Amino acid sequence: MDDFNTIAQQFVQFYYNTFDSDRGLLAALYREHSMLTFESTASKGVNDIIEKLQSLPFGKIIHQVATVDAQPSNESGGIIVMVTGALLVEGEEKPMSYSQVFQLLPEAGTYYAFNDVFKLVYPA
């Protein structure tokens, strides 16, 4: 079993590669009780979450991860992952900073996102 830092890194890499190539495929990373809060708008369940992600008003997007920090979130193998980075949206010249937190829960040898909170972070 990899340690939580390795799992966090692998999840983050897979998540953003998938997001940036075909957002719909992120469905595999959520479950019916998963929650997404995207810019303070809440969605719950795979369908609502993917619908929200698909509806975001940009086409091509590139996430550039700057930092990944992880901690165990419970005694059952859960992991809290906090990401900071930049994203560049097609048609925009300037990247934006963001922060995103996941709680990953183990299931059948893999992990899914039970919690997902995304926020743009504006310059202070």
Residue 68 to residues 51, 57, 80, Cα–Cα distance (Å): 26, 26, 10
By CB under 8 A, the residues from 32 to 61 that bind its own copies are: 35, 37, 40, 42
The nearer residue to its own copies, 50 or 100, going by C-beta atoms, is 100
The nearer residue to its own copies, 61 or 101, going by C-beta atoms, is 101
By CB under 8 A, the residues from 62 to 121 that bind its own copies are: 66-67, 69, 71-74, 78, 80, 82, 84, 86-87, 94-97, 99, 101, 103, 114-115, 117, 119, 121
Residue 49 to residues 6, 56, 88, 94, Cα–Cα distance (Å): 26, 11, 21, 27
Please name every residue paired with 109 in a beta bridge, in sequence order, or none if there are none: none
